[in-house]
Copies of this chain bind each other. A is one copy, B any other.
Amino acid sequence: MSIKKFFFQGEHGAFSEEAGLKYFGFESRGIPCKEFEEVVKNVIKEKSSFGIIPIENSTIGSIHSNYDLLLKYNVFIIGEINLIVKQHLISLRGTQLKNIKKIISHPAALQQCQKFLRRLKNVEIKLSYDTAGSVRLIKEKNLYDTAAISSEISAKVYGMKILKKNIQDTQANITRFIIISSKKKKPEKNPKTSIVFTLQNFPGALFRALSVFALRDIDLTKIESRPIPEKPFEYYFYLDFRGSIDDVKCKNALLNLREISNFLKILGSYEEDLNHR
């Protein structure tokens, strides 16, 4: 069997890579990309490869920009993994907390650690484009007065010290990552399907849409209406349900939904991750 290859956004040691290694096993290989869109494009270019992107987080909610990529490109969700995101303050081995004059990280990580950062006095906080990349920079430039906010795995990758553990504001900060591929894959167990659709705007339209699932005893695990900015009073609906598009009753439900929706895209059927839910 060949080694599994997956693309992720960020540098080595990023949370996406951590999630990918957990999903594919530690013998798999993560390939860093600058942008999420680059991840998706690479997955389309290299047929046997995979991609991993975050799709929602327990504090900040659904990541609409990554849903947009799933609508724009022809890729399928073939798996998911929930990861508890823990942020740590990371430095060179010789550095002590009192010597820190600068902290660098990605804006999302900085935002997740605001309470911790606000308590610090006389520390300058600087932006970088990557959590793991910040750790690498400190290592390469030998910055004894600087710390990065990043994952445990990034400290390991670059042989750095964790100066302070779990500095994120919320202790249960869970990110749901999805695995994407240019080819569909049949889930082996606990199947779950993700779809996006739009409806005609009349009272009860959503109720009618949900009836196609309820009347077939299909369990929903997510529903969200997202206003479409360019189209006033229209919504995308994000919906996840238990079951595979290969099951007859799910297939029928979707046929039924197509009749009443203006637009429907099946993002994929895959095995549900039952951890950290």
A residues contacting B by CB (< 8 A) are 58-65, 107-108, 110-111, 114, 117-118, 124-127, 129, 170, 172-174, 203-204, 206-208, 210-211, 213-214, 217-220, 222-227, 229-230, 232-233, 276-277
**CA gap between A223 and B224 in the complex, in Å:** 6
Q: Please give me the residue from chain B that is nearest to A214 by CB atom.
A: B207
For residue A144, give the distance in angstroms from its CB to the closest CB of chain B.
Answer: 19
Is there contact, CB below 8 Å, between A226 and B61?
yes
A277-B232 in contact (CB<8A)? yes
Contact status A126-B125, CB under 8 Å: yes
Q: Which residues of B contact A173 (CB under 8 A)?
A: 229
How often does this chain occur in the complex, in copies? Answer: 2
A207 to B219, CA, bound (A): 10
Compute how far the CA of A224 lies from the CA of B64 in the bound complex, rounded to whole angstroms: 13
List of B residues within 8 angstroms of A227 by Cβ = 58, 174, 277
Interface of A is mostly: mixed
Bound Cα distance A31, B206 (Å) = 40
Complex Cα distance, B226 from A145, in Å, reads: 40
CB contacts (< 8 Å) of A211 on chain B: these are 207
Residues of chain B within 8 A of A172, CB atoms compared: 229-230
A214 touches B225 (CB 8 A): no
Residue among B118, B217, B229 making CB contact with A58, cutoff 8 Å: B229
Complex Cα spacing A217 to B205, Å: 10
CB distance from A35 to the nearest CB of B (A): 9
Given A60-B61, A61-B61, A172-B230, verify A214-B203 contact (CB < 8 Å): yes
Residue of B nearest to A239 (CB): B225
Residues of B within 8 A of A233 (CB): 277
Say whether B223 contacts A225, CB under 8 Å: yes
In the complex formed, the residue of B with least CB distance to A62 is B61
Residue of B nearest to A173 (CB): B229
Q: With A and B bound together, what is the CA distance between A110 and B110 in angstroms?
A: 11
Q: Which residue of B lies closest to A113 (CB)?
A: B107
Q: Is the Cβ of A218 less than 8 Å from the Cβ of B203?
A: yes
